Amino acid sequence: MSGGMWSQYLREDLAASEHDQWRAWASYMLSHMTLENVLRWLRQSRTDYADLPPAEQRSDHQFVEMTLDILERHGVVAPPREVHLILERVAEMTRACPLGMRCRGCQFARANGGDLVCGMAEIHTLACELVGRRRG
């Protein structure tokens, strides 16, 4: 198991969530042990997620939401709409380059294969590409 870039706090929160999910499932299973349920659980255990009926997939969605909440709290993911808004704002902010993204003479310019490239212009172009609009 690798340490990687994930914090110990994130690992502990995810582990606690996994345990809570398992504990809830085990408690439910042990208190609802009927032949009908055991047969259904056996069928589900042999079925890929994509092949489950929508009603059974929804219960998995609930667990995913808990995990996404933890990841958001730790800053690992942001909701797609929030990311889009951030990129839109970056595109607008960088569009206001004081030199109109003409890099010669810009204090932020650096040489890139002989050409001066302003970091501002690169960031603006990338933000525009990511939100699916033309630079400008």
Measured CA distances, 38 to 50, 79, 105, 120, 128 (Å)? 21, 37, 73, 60, 52
Domain range list for the chain: 8-73, 80-131
Q: Rounded CA gap, 133 and 127, in Å?
A: 9
> For residue 80, what pLDDT is reported?
67
> For residue 1, what pLDDT is reported?
46
Among residues of the chain, what percentage have pLDDT more than 90? 15
pLDDT digits (tens, 9 = 90+) for 61-76: 888 888 888 888 887 7
CB atoms within 10 A of CB 91: 21
pLDDT digits (tens, 9 = 90+) for 81-111: 766 677 677 666 655 555 555 555 555 555 5
Q: Rounded CA gap, 4 and 97, in Å?
A: 37
Pair 19, 68: CB distance under 8 Å: no
